[in-house]
Chain A
Amino acid sequence: MNNFQYTRVKSPATAITELSKNPAAKLLAGGTNLIDLMKYGVMSPDKLVDINRLEFSDIKRGQGTLHIGSMVRNSVAAADATVLEYQPLLSQAMLAGASAQLRNKASMGGNLLQRTRCPYFYDITADCNKRAPGTGCSALEGFNRMHAIFGASSSCIAVNPSDMNVALVALDAVVQVSGPKGNRSIMMADFHRLPGTHPELDSTLDKKEIITGIVIPDNAFAKHTTYLKVRDRASYAFALISVAAALEMDGSTIKDLRLAMGGVAHKPWRLTEAENFLKGKTASVANFKLAAELAMKGAKSYGHNDFKLKLAPNSIIQALKTASGVKA
């Protein structure tokens, strides 16, 4: 690891000042992604600004909302009684990610901004537009089993690796940030970007901004939520495909729902068309199949990930069956 300067900040304002002063500085939360990338030489900030002592560690109820501070550890949020009562889908998704030890360090803010696990992004000898803009994308013609089937570009076909993000986009979460120009809120659906011609940018967060918390509006989904994660081993592996499903049932009718997928795009992928189709319909395997077909419109695979074109719709159907309790 290259050496760097280190400073521990006690206020968000100091953190923002540090970022404004030094464009090559990075915030350090749990470090489970950043330190890993620094060891590989994928990222080499001049300065780390340690935000672990900032008081973004509360989980509290607001008016019709749940607020989770950006420094709350994933393990703490996943086990929190309020989170379990109001947003169990989020807990399920976080528990499907990483390992118990890693979740003890991983923060909400750091998880939002964790970078792709594309092997060429990690290999500093490989061409990669995300790591070194303009060098090309080695995954396009390379080993692309983990890669995107939606929203990719000829510049980058990487996926966002987070489980938590899939639940957050399904739940219409809002990311709260603070910067030199004050505070602002970013809808989760707008927080992550598609690669386009600038795959080096993962999110719409400004370099000088700090995430302070996440707000999730109340909903009536708690009884019917599922996070289905398909991976190469039973635990402690990134998703090949994941599906977050949250339903509000009225008898056998789907009154309202949210659907999102992970492992398929540069951002957590909301399945709006499938949602619109299922809203007000009877929960049945036939309808789930039609919804999955709609969700797959426009999907494109790159060779090694062709299997996702089949795995993804099957996963959507399975997640909907589990969430609704519909068997056959």
Chain B
Amino acid sequence: MIENKSQEEQGIKGNSRRDFLKKSSVITAIALTPAAAVKASDLKLDERFSDALEQQSLSIEINGQQHELKVEPRLTLLDLLRERLKLTGTKKGCDQGQCGACTVHIDGVRTNSCLTLAIMHDGAKITTIEGLSNGTRLHPMQEAFIKHDGFQCGYCTPGQIMSAVACINEGHANSETEIREFMSGNICRCGAYANIVNAIQEVKAGGKI
């Protein structure tokens, strides 16, 4: 994997061996038990060891709740939500920006949480599907999805709903064609598209959001 890096990525030609050693030691470190890892770093087995496992402070509000966290820079916002905070409503489909299942609102703006790092959003307010309802009262878009059968398996649904709310807020829900175009970032393998469009049109017409 590392050997395949181009010279460009390596930056300097002669750096590749050191680079490889550094990264392989990180891989080893991750494979070690925590106790052994701590011992290894105490012994300064590798100067970069602790760097690589470096955690940085992140202050982030999620669904109205403030979190003070320490995170590795490589943690995506999606993995923070699902793996760290157990907010598993947001789904991981492709993990590559290609399906929209991971769509959340960052400061009100819909975003693919799989292609953004948690650490980039220090100070931000995140809304996930869990934060959309008002207590046990469902959001109008959630109700409309139920009424119109806007799903089958339901896997894409949290992303669809987050995207649909934003689609109306952005002013891009004025016709079926416009809705289809501006919802194209959310793929549904069950093909519930027609019902999803109906749900969005109803919420838009109802003027409740």
Contact = CB atoms under 8 A, between A and B. Distances in A.
Contacts of A84: none
B26 A101 contact: no
B146 interface: no
B26 A3 contact: yes
B166 to A, nearest CB: 7
A201 B8 contact: yes
A100 B23 CA distance: 36
A140 B184 CA distance: 32
Contacts of A130: 6
B4 A2 contact: no
Given A1-B74, A24-B19, A31-B116, A100 B4 contact: no
B176 interface: no
Contacts of B103: 101
Interface stretch (B51-59, B82-90, B194-202): B51-59
A281 to B, nearest CB: 34
B120 A99 contact: no
A52 interface: yes
Contacts of B41: none
The range of chain B's interface size is 35 or more
B178 to A, nearest CB: 11
B74 A100 contact: no
A296 interface: no
B5 A3 contact: no
A1 B23 CA distance: 11
Nearest to B183: A100
A31 B106 CA distance: 15
B180 interface: yes
Nearest to A34: B115
Contacts of A325: none
Nearest to A52: B120
Interface stretch (A42-50, A158-166, A300-308): A42-50
Given A3-B26, A44-B9, A105 B170 contact: no
B10 A100 contact: no
Nearest to A130: B6
A98 interface: yes
B184 A6 contact: no
B83 to A, nearest CB: 14
B153 interface: no
Given A23-B12, A46-B19, A100-B184, 18 more contacts: A2-B23, A3-B53, A5-B51, A5-B73, A23-B15, A24-B11, A24-B15, A30-B116, A32-B115, A43-B9, A45-B9, A50-B120, A99-B186, A100-B182, A101-B112, A200-B7, A201-B8, A235-B180
Pairs A-B, 5 closest by C-beta atoms? A99-B185, A23-B11, A6-B73, A235-B184, A24-B11
Interface of B: 1-2, 4-12, 15, 19, 23, 26, 51-54, 56, 72-74, 76, 95-97, 100, 103, 109-112, 115-117, 119-120, 122, 163, 166-167, 170, 172, 180-187
